[in-house]
Amino acid sequence: MNAARLIACHECDLLQRETVLASGGTARCRRCGATLYRRPPASVDRALALTLAAMVLFVVANTFPIVGLSVNGTLVETTLFGAAQVLYDDGVWPLAGLVFVTTLLMPLLDMAAVTYVLLPLRTGHIPRRPDIVLRVLRHVTPWGMIEVLILGMLVALVKLAAIASVVPGIAMWAFGAVMLLLAAAASTFDPHDIWSRIDIARSAASASAPAGQVSASAPTAARAGLFVCHDCGLLSKPASHAHEGRCPRCGSPLHFRKPGSIARTWAFLISAVILYIPANLLPVMDTSSLFGAQTDTIMSGVVFLWTSGSWPLAVIVFIASIAVPMLKIIALIFLVLTAQLRWRWLPQRRTRIYRLVELVGRWSMLDIYVITILVALVQFNALATIKAGPGAIAFGAVVVLTMFAAMSFDPRLIWDAVEPDHG
């Protein structure tokens, strides 16, 4: 193989030739179908423009109220930060922290990191320490959940409409625009392309070849004795008899496989299974009003939406808050068990299951955002108040634990069993 054009698939470890793509093209692994890299048109200009626009609207979205609730002439409004603050003041600080991190902190870090990297490249310069910033970007991106927040707002509006007059705020529209802009920016931002630009700039400055050129004749990186960096994608040779190292391009820790992948995945899954029971049995909301007190579980919230005529939202909430967490746990147990037992059958389908689990896991946060908005707005003292229940904390923990489980699992273990030396 051409030593300068080797690339390894992050999901099955297959070594392949890196080819020049047409503008807008996508390279996929020929064995498992995973996306290897893309070539978005005008990637730097478009991604930078979209991200800067999203940052401006993000400020607007967090300055103005997202929604208001009017009862007997009394108007209660809240910003997203204010909603998280209400949860914190009520003593539900784990939930407040989760909402703050996934809807405010992580999206802000994501936009700041993209801007930090792209702005110097746009002017023909290399950003300082792009390795650290791109590594941070890779880890924070899965935790930014603006799109899930938008759907949560819509569900909350339906529930609030049964209580009082709802007044959508400017921030709701701003968050919707931020969601669209971030999605568009993500589709044009490709780390592989960014690292290629940085390598070219560094090579021109130092008049040397890019670091990390390797050659191999084995079909996979591990069998060829090569490390693949999950942060920058570079292949490199380890020191003699070493099972770990550092990426020569970005400095990330390198391993042939994620250390303790099976054990850590099991630990997160067992914790999620234990918490899944109280998450569905304990109340997620406690409502107090002139007519008495009422507790709501996740399922009772689905029933309310269904009986009030909002059956499409009832179906969405049921899928996102009940079916998805359960199916995700079952799918991950299946994947980690088959990898541990080194089953050889249907590796392509098992890899697709893993891909799907990573894709849908974040949508389980839907109910958490619905609860956050309801708790923040329904604060009418003697008339009616809503507080988050213990089930909401357990449910938030389930979502986080299953996401950690998916991140801990190494899909390359699925394919290790089908290699000839494991027959």
- For the chain, give every domain's residue range: 3-422
> Is the alpha carbon torsion for 175, 177, 183, 185 positive or negative?
negative
Residue 50 to residue 58: CA distance in whole angstroms: 12
Residue 229 to residue 254: CA distance in whole angstroms: 6
Residue 82 to residue 373: CA distance in whole angstroms: 10
Residue 153 to residue 151: CA distance in whole angstroms: 5
Instruction: Return the bridge partners of 8, or none.
Output: 15
What distances in angstroms separate CA 380 from CA 75, 150, 265, 401, one per listed residue? 10, 25, 44, 35
Pairing of strands 285-289, 384-388: antiparallel
Give pLDDT, residue 422.
46
Give pLDDT, residue 125.
85
Q: What angle do CA 152, 108, 390 make, to 5 degrees?
A: 40
CA atoms within 13 A of residue 330's CA, in its CB half-sphere: 6
- Find, among 240, 149, 245, 183, the residue nearest to 53 by Cα: 183
E-assigned strands of 72-225?
Answer: 74-78, 165-168
How many angstroms separate the most distant Cα atoms in the chain? 78
| Residue pLDDT tens, the chain, 423 long | 334 478 889 989 888 888 888 888 888 998 888 888 888 887 888 999 999 999 999 999 999 999 888 777 677 788 999 999 989 988 889 999 999 999 999 999 999 999 999 999 888 888 888 888 998 998 999 999 999 999 888 888 887 877 777 888 899 999 999 999 999 999 888 888 888 888 777 776 654 444 445 555 568 888 888 888 888 888 888 776 666 778 888 888 888 888 899 999 999 999 999 999 999 888 888 776 555 566 778 888 788 778 877 778 788 888 888 888 899 999 999 999 999 999 988 899 999 999 999 888 888 898 899 888 888 887 655 556 778 889 999 999 999 999 999 999 999 999 988 876 544
Q: Are 287 and 294 in contact (CB under 8 A)?
A: yes
182 exposed, middle or buried (CB, 10 Å; 0-12, 13-18, 19+)?
Answer: buried
- Find, among 112, 86, 115, 113, the residue nearest to 99 by Cα: 86
Give pLDDT, residue 25.
84
Rg of the chain over CA atoms, in angstroms? Answer: 24
Q: Which two tokens stand for residue 91?
A: 């003593």
The 8-class DSSP code of residue 162 comes to: T
Tally of CB atoms within 10 A around 385: 15
Residue 269 to residue 275: CA distance in whole angstroms: 10
Please report which helix (H) or strand (E) contains residue 6, including its range: strand 6-8
258 exposed, middle or buried (CB, 10 Å; 0-12, 13-18, 19+)?
Answer: middle
Residue 74 to residue 380: CA distance in whole angstroms: 9
What is the residue-wise DSSP string for 299-315? HHHHHHHHHTT-HHHHH
